[in-house]
Every structure is written in structure tokens, then in C-alpha cells.
């Protein structure tokens, strides 16, 4: 098989994977982000909050879940810098943000590394990376 044929096969396989990535809950999560809504799911039976969101409850396996607002502010639990950025212009800062009542979320941090410290208060913002994709990111509260 020629090298460019192989490359084409790999490209096609990756497109399928990207198009079908994510279950119903994560598709809804990203659709809401596009509308500037930051939400996850909560179980109506046992009130367990799932992050990432799930269409079933990871605590009691119930399927009656509702969408609730996540806190707009959280605390920076950990952070680092990717010297080889995959998605954004480098250097790209990523972090884990603790959201009260919901848990921890891996996210992009929109601030230089040397302005960050553990436990600092950060707030959510939205980043349109393409026409169809919006991501969450956090930056320090000024
Ligand atoms: Zn439950």
C-alpha cells in the first residue's frame, strides 16, 4: 500500500472517531457551552451531581437526571503548561478547577503560568474554537 493511501485511511478513521465521539450527555454539555451555559447533571433520586455529566446516575444507576447550573467560580486545584500545545497556540496553560458541590474539572486556563497560584479563585469563560465547538476555560478573578 502506498504511503499516501495509508495516510488517507488513517485520516478517514480519525474523522469517524471525532464525529462519533461522546455520548448523549457530553453532546448536550458542549451544545450548552455554545449557548454560554455551564451545566452538568444531577440525579433526581439521590441528588448526586455527576461531572462530567451522565444520562444515568453513577451513584445509584438511576436514569432520572436533570441539568443544573455549575458554579461560575471555583478554586484552582492544580495547573501546568503544555510546551507542545495540541489545540491552541503555545504555551498553553491547563489546570484542574475545584467546583463546589460538583467536583474537579480539567480545563484550559486563560492566563500566563506565572500569574497563577494554588487555591486562587477563578471564573469560567467560553472559548469558541470553531463554528461548531465551544470549550470552557477559566481565568483568575480580578
Ligand atoms: Zn442517583
CA of 65 to the centre of ligand 1 (A): 8
Handedness of CA 41, 47, 51, 57 (dihedral sign): negative
Q: What is the pLDDT of residue 107?
A: 95
Residue 52: is the preceding peptide bond cis (ω within 30°)?
yes
DSSP annotation of 115 = G
Q: What is the pLDDT of residue 19?
A: 47
Rounded to two decimals, the pTM is 0.79
CA of 68 to the centre of ligand 1 (A): 14
Instruction: Provide CB contacts within 8 A for 134, sequence distance 6+.
Output: 30, 33, 34, 126, 127, 128
Per-residue pLDDT of the chain (142 residues; tens, 9 = 90+): 677 777 776 666 655 544 445 689 999 999 999 999 999 999 999 999 999 999 999 999 999 999 999 999 999 999 999 877 666 666 689 999 999 999 999 999 999 999 999 999 999 999 998 898 999 999 999 8
DSSP annotation of 100 = T
* CB under 5 Å of ion ligand 1: residues: 43, 45-46, 48, 57, 59-60, 62
Residue 64 and residue 44 in contact, taking contact as beta carbons nearer than 8 Å = yes
CA of 88 to the centre of ligand 1 (A): 37
CA of 49 to the centre of ligand 1 (A): 8
Query: Distance between CA 121 and CA 25 in Å, rounded?
Result: 28
Amino acid at each position: 500500500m502506498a504511503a499516501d493511501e495509508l495516510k488517507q485511511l488513517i485520516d478517514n478513521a480519525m474523522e469517524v472517531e471525532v464525529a462519533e465521539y461522546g455520548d448523549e450527555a457530553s453532546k448536550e454539555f458542549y451544545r450548552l457551552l455554545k449557548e454560554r451555559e455551564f451545566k452538568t447533571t444531577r440525579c433526581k433520586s439521590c441528588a448526586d451531581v455527576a461531572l462530567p455529566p451522565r444520562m444515568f446516575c453513577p451513584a445509584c444507576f438511576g436514569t432520572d437526571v436533570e441539568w443544573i447550573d455549575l458554579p461560575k467560580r471555583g478554586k484552582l486545584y492544580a495547573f501546568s503548561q503544555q510546551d507542545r500545545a495540541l489545540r491552541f497556540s503555545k504555551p498553553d496553560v491547563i489546570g484542574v478547577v475545584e467546583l463546589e458541590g460538583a467536583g474537579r474539572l480539567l480545563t484550559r486556563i486563560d492566563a500566563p503560568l506565572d500569574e497563577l497560584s494554588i487555591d486562587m479563585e477563578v471564573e469560567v469563560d467560553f472559548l469558541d474554537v470553531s463554528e461548531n465547538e465551544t470549550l470552557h476555560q477559566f481565568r483568575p478573578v480580578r
